[in-house]
Structure 1
């Protein structure tokens, strides 16, 4: 026992000297001269105090006990098998990729199990596997797959290598004191430091930029630095690599800029640039979800080891705000809206969001609403934060998490557009007027998607990728992500002359953003968002206003959509609505071609089959469809010269990489200044059991634009029962205090604010 104490004392002295020697480069704004917490290990996500508290309460906190037992069963099964550390060769989804991924997940779980259960078999499992990696890594070449701009060693890209080190650093922290000094030296000198140097110094194009990839790299280098007490690595994690030799204006082959606008890199720059003050992450919810793990797990480790950094207070607490913003960007079922590159079905049940909810609860004032999400997730982290959440659930402190209408700004200062979400009890409308979204952004200014009880009604396509399915492009992005999913025609927005916004050029699109005109949810019966776009097409201005309106004359809330276009030249405009479901009825005739042909030859049009072509039968066009036992109707004010095109995704797709989904496109040719106005209804239902259809017909008999100039637009809508509604929009003055007076068809209307909705019958 005395020998062990002496050894620990010697280790502390060596550790302290190492810190003093390694502190070479200091940021003028940092407190890096303060010594790393010397309370011992674990100290990243578990603390000695936390472990003691958890051990005392084992068997008394059901949600934590359940999570612990699930991890124990999983790791015990792995321990019963032979450790396997194969030579890397595969893309995502391939055997070696998935084996190394499973290894780092099991290592992390085994580490925390060792601390909580104090059973040596878990520490031995971690040690034995790490020694296998140490033996292999010393001579491991760069990964044989050459697709990535930054190839890893264990994985085909440095991103996944960073995933590995983020998780493994936690395992190493948990068994640090179990290992001898000789064993630690061996791992640190032959595995961990070379690993950290490889993903950072040897790959600055990956590490020294602002992107979710770099966030993983920063967290990986920083967390292993915290475990080892290596101030050089911690500094590198927080502030990036100095004098990296990169062109400050360079871009990687993923289309992302290397550094932020101030030329900074590192973890703190990745906190500053991608997040708006509201916590919106510019790449979109899917990648915000992915990045939340390294952001929050590294922040937790920093707060435990270097509390003087006050990382959770950085940028007015943006990390904690971001968790709430992300939860608000999910539908009624908890699935994230697929803005930009986003896989449908990803939800707050993912392991990253378990981490996010637990850490946000622990460090964010223990908001009881987060406990309701944690209860649905039905699992917690096996650390201090997860234990606090489980205690809160056990103590009955739960309050419902309220999803509400919300407007989230984009850009580091919140002045680069944003995303508006309008909500009623059942209907959710997502309106995108944001910045480009970095390399994962899509070219779809003023686009929208619509949900009813968590089901898509008008859809956003999301990404073209089969994540981790090796048979589909190695699990990576498919070429159709560029030729289809990112193109403007893949979204519910205006396309001019069959050309995508900004000609789908990242360098151009990244310079601009749409601007919020107004967002108003004060009246729960009229929730409305309006934004303008002036740069998608030179010489063309677009202004779109969307609202969810509750009206006693309608069974359910309806959506109003007004898209105004003003251009210096005459153009062709296409406005698609990607409806989900089976066509039930139209009020126009159309011809179905005997031979399906693509609608165009580029800009995404080459992927659309033309399935039907017609013209409006009058001043209104109506399409009804059925989906999930409910009816929907789109009614639009149209011109007799308009073209109506039924299309379906799937042309020029020989490998069946795209989903075969339908759209109705309204096409208007030879127009400069024009307006598209529509109403979308949710109504009735159909029971396949009783075989009864209820209220299957639209409640709208007519929609008409009765006034439109630079200053005002007025839309009238008449129901089948001859009830008429009038909506007036002020196009140039959005102030809520401005008074308006307008004469329409001999009648005078007065109101205050940017819009006016009245019944005129």
Structure 2
């Protein structure tokens, strides 16, 4: 049935454009990433486009060094980080680059290098057993997991395409029958639990099978790549080792399903930017190959150009230094300088609207692809077309239809202050239990952090470079994030099946004003009988040196609970306005759900209704000011308990604890101010500008927070809790003064 869909499309294309159909049938090579006409244009411009020429020379130096070392295809035995893993990875990366060099420079040594490598793999693959390391739910052959085997095939398909015409028919038959088809069958038919699902893993598998199918002109394999395996024999509700569903009733599979389901209409990828970055390479590379070989499928325009939108979304999910926000499982430091984003930027420029702002990102990357898209980018930069990439505030919806929450990013000025507010869906198996969490940045520096993942990628000494057990016992837990934990339990009790059924809901988002930007969302399923409503605003007030963040967390619950609201600050404690005791010996804060990893370093009580806590981070001062109650507890915690292998960073947090409350509201301000230079030893404006923070009105309909500066000037933020309509008119009397406004909130500043 699925094959008939493709056949029908091809018949339509043939009827409309017979010459193109005949050309496709002839299987001209190269035809995946490079094309005959594209490579001719590249050759004609050699020596005339500086960035492209520099990229060619850099790749040439790298590949020539590998050729000089000889070809090694060792028997696999290691996890990621070990020699055999790294060697096979370097082989496929080098082969792909060698293929590009062969096409550009027409030097036969690159074709010979690829040919010899492929036949070494062909000779070993026929008798190659499954990888000896048993940790993965889908073991590969060359690598410990099918995911990395799929990486190999995506890149090797490009190398094979580049030298296809240099091989005899007998050589091609040998490679295809003994290596490529068995390889494609292994990662798909023999491992349906890996291949036949919606996940970044299967995206790589689908693209791998599809890429080699296009080179070999194999319609059956292409059908399998696009639509998955129709009868995979999997039980409904099976799970992988990350807890993610392998298959659910009615679930689609294949590349098109992976292109459809995880992406929102805004280009946000539900697993988060770290894995979107990883998945964008197979999405775009296979999409480009389909664009060249099967243009009638219109992969790039699928779902209203969602792949190209995805590139824009990814770039907007970076801080001022180009590093991706570590939402869900995300390694800190991963940035748009990664080769996957070089690919994304170049392809998005060439096959999108040639947005000149993308050229400024390419300038920073300082390298381009060795194909026609890389040439186009390099020529645009040479010709002075680059414009700065401007990252404004943005609200990215989550979910296939854009109706499963999202991520709001509020930016003031030139990323002077950036809020990342997460109210998204679970994010598949890489999701964390952190509804309504946030992180805060000042000019690229973390102020309040999201931990990210617990993994040392490709560092063999740390769990073979794979996920550590602490990823589940700490990084995924609720208390590991800047959000509310109730009764020391995780959101959804830490159960993936439950969490995957729910998402937070946007209450409103407004970035239209220069002095106030607001995002507000609700969560009613994380804890039974409890509704959380969090509103966060970046505010610029002339009585304050810098913009600040206002945070209001309103909780309604059917029962009395213990509420913990942590703030994971980055820096050295400076001062506070409350008394606390430090224990002589450290003990864990709790026994499970992440609490077992937190040492309690200090415990105190508020000295007034306005509690302040200050720290110095990377030459800048910060103060957290909170409206507190007399019965609140103030906790100073540090990560590292029950961590004998030192797998966790020793990060610190200031935590507000409120016990025995049902309905309650937390209000806090995070205030950047001043600076310190270790060179001049000059300290400027090291004290907070806030004298008092108080909740002056709070009921079901409205919450009002008053901020009084040290100059005695008061500002007021009023939130309408029940109606977020922009046209709704509101009226409220606060301390004898009546306020009227239209829309979900009012801010009266100086």
TM-score class, shorter-chain normalisation, is over 0.9
Tell me if structure 1 keeps the 8 A contact 2:10–2:296. Answer: no
Query: Is the aligned partner of 1:748 residue 2:726?
Result: no
Partner residue in 2 for 1:613: 603
Partner residue in 1 for 2:505: 515
Query: Is the aligned partner of 1:279 residue 2:257?
Result: no
Tell me if structure 1 keeps the 8 A contact 2:515–2:541. Answer: yes
Alignment partners' CA distance in 1, 2:696 and 2:26: 74
| CA distances 1:55-109 after superposition (whole Å, capped 9, x unpaired) | 0110100111111101100111111112100000000000000000000000000
| CA distances 1:227-249 after superposition (whole Å, capped 9, x unpaired) | 00000011100000111111243
Three-state SS of the structure 1 residue aligned to 2:92 is: helix
Query: Is the aligned partner of 1:466 residue 2:444?
Result: no
Alignment partners' CA distance in 2, 1:78 and 1:136: 21
Tell me if structure 2 keeps the 8 A contact 1:462–1:485. Answer: yes
Shift of 1:589: 1.0
Alignment partners' CA distance in 1, 2:668 and 2:60: 56
Query: Is the aligned partner of 1:269 residue 2:257?
Result: yes
Partner residue in 2 for 1:758: 748
Q: Post-superposition, which runs of at least 4 consecutive aligned residues in structure 1 deviate over 4 A?
A: 32-35
Tell me if structure 2 keeps the 8 A contact 1:549–1:560. Answer: yes
Query: Is the aligned partner of 1:695 residue 2:673?
Result: no
Tell me if structure 1 keeps the 8 A contact 2:455–2:468. Answer: yes
Please show how residues 702-741 of structure 1 align to structure 2 within 5 Å: 702-741=692-731
Q: Choose the corresponding residue for 1:494, options 484, 488, 496.
A: 484
Partner residue in 2 for 1:441: 431
Q: Choose the corresponding residue for 1:88, options 73, 76, 92.
A: 76
Partner residue in 1 for 2:518: 528
Query: Is the aligned partner of 1:27 residue 2:15?
Result: no
Tell me if structure 2 keeps the 8 A contact 1:248–1:263. Answer: no
| CA distances 1:655-704 after superposition (whole Å, capped 9, x unpaired) | 00000010001000000000000011110111112212110000000000
Tell me if structure 2 keeps the 8 A contact 1:210–1:260. Answer: no
202-211 vs 744-753, greater mean Cα deviation: 744-753
Tell me if structure 1 keeps the 8 A contact 2:586–2:599. Answer: yes
| CA distances 1:236-285 after superposition (whole Å, capped 9, x unpaired) | 00000111111243322222222477421000000111000000000000
CA RMSD of aligned residues (A): 1.2
**Any gaps of 5 or more consecutive residues in structure 1?**
1-22
Alignment partners' CA distance in 1, 2:2 and 2:160: 25
Partner residue in 2 for 1:580: 570
Shift of 1:147: 0.4
| CA distances 1:409-463 after superposition (whole Å, capped 9, x unpaired) | 0000000000000001211000000000000000000000000010000000000
Shift of 1:404: 0.7
Partner residue in 2 for 1:400: 388
Please show how residues 280-679 of structure 1 align to structure 2 within 5 Å: 280-425=268-413, 426-679=416-669
**Any gaps of 5 or more consecutive residues in structure 2?**
15-20
Tell me if structure 1 keeps the 8 A contact 2:359–2:380. Answer: yes
Alignment partners' CA distance in 2, 1:429 and 1:672: 28
Alignment partners' CA distance in 2, 1:208 and 1:298: 17
Please show how residues 72-87 of structure 1 align to structure 2 within 5 Å: 72-87=60-75
Tell me if structure 2 keeps the 8 A contact 1:705–1:715. Answer: yes
TM-score (norm. length: structure 2):
0.97
523-532 vs 261-270, greater mean Cα deviation: 261-270
Three-state SS of the structure 2 residue aligned to 1:134 is: helix
Shift of 1:24: 9.1
Tell me if structure 1 keeps the 8 A contact 2:6–2:223. Answer: no
Tell me if structure 1 keeps the 8 A contact 2:395–2:406. Answer: yes
Three-state SS of the structure 1 residue aligned to 2:407 is: strand
Change (3 A) 1:260 1:397: farther
Three-state SS of the structure 2 residue aligned to 1:191 is: helix
Three-state SS of the structure 1 residue aligned to 2:4 is: coil
Three-state SS of the structure 1 residue aligned to 2:410 is: strand
Alignment partners' CA distance in 2, 1:212 and 1:759: 46
Q: Choose the corresponding residue for 2:672, options 682, 688, 710.
A: 682
Partner residue in 2 for 1:162: 150
Alignment partners' CA distance in 2, 1:30 and 1:155: 38
Alignment partners' CA distance in 2, 1:27 and 1:595: 68
Tell me if structure 2 keeps the 8 A contact 1:211–1:256. Answer: no
Three-state SS of the structure 1 residue aligned to 2:654 is: strand
Alignment partners' CA distance in 1, 2:304 and 2:454: 36
Alignment partners' CA distance in 2, 1:669 and 1:652: 26
Shift of 1:27: 2.9
Three-state SS of the structure 1 residue aligned to 2:467 is: coil
Tell me if structure 2 keeps the 8 A contact 1:64–1:390. Answer: yes
Tell me if structure 1 keeps the 8 A contact 2:243–2:496. Answer: yes
Tell me if structure 1 keeps the 8 A contact 2:2–2:227. Answer: no
Tell me if structure 2 keeps the 8 A contact 1:37–1:305. Answer: no
Partner residue in 1 for 2:85: 97
Partner residue in 1 for 2:225: 237
Tell me if structure 2 keeps the 8 A contact 1:685–1:695. Answer: yes
Aligned length: 738
Partner residue in 1 for 2:169: 181
Shift of 1:510: 0.5
TM-score (norm. length: structure 1):
0.96
Alignment partners' CA distance in 2, 1:536 and 1:187: 53
Tell me if structure 1 keeps the 8 A contact 2:27–2:217. Answer: no
Alignment partners' CA distance in 1, 2:249 and 2:571: 44
